[in-house]
Amino acid sequence: MAEVRVECHAGYRGDETPRRFNLEGKTIEVAAILGRWKEPGALFFRVRGFDGRAYVLRRDEQAGHWEIPVVAG
């Protein structure tokens, strides 16, 4: 898993929604949230970047850091 820096927007409910992230020194803007789900201890977002690729972002709720477990293509 690659650890990444993710910038988020907190909505009125306080949920964090990814807006952009840095991967391998490149900033990728999020064009669309394709899906979101929760598993024990983690929050996942499937996003489409403005680069046309799909990514899965995982937020470890206990540690508070973000990872990309899969680059979906």
- How large is the average pLDDT for residues 5-17? 73
**DSSP code at position 37:** E
Mean pLDDT confidence for 34-49: 94
Is the Cα dihedral 20, 70, 47, 60 positive or negative? negative
Q: Position 63: which residue type?
A: A
Go through the chain and tell me how many residues it has: 73
Q: Please determine, for residue 71, whether its predicted confidence score (pLDDT) is greater than 60.
A: no
Q: What is the token pair recorded at 45? A: 């977002």
- What confidence score (pLDDT) does residue 45 get? 94
Q: What is the pLDDT of residue 69?
A: 80
Q: Nearest-CA neighbor of 43 among 28, 29, 30, 57? A: 57
- Supply 63's token pair: 């540690």
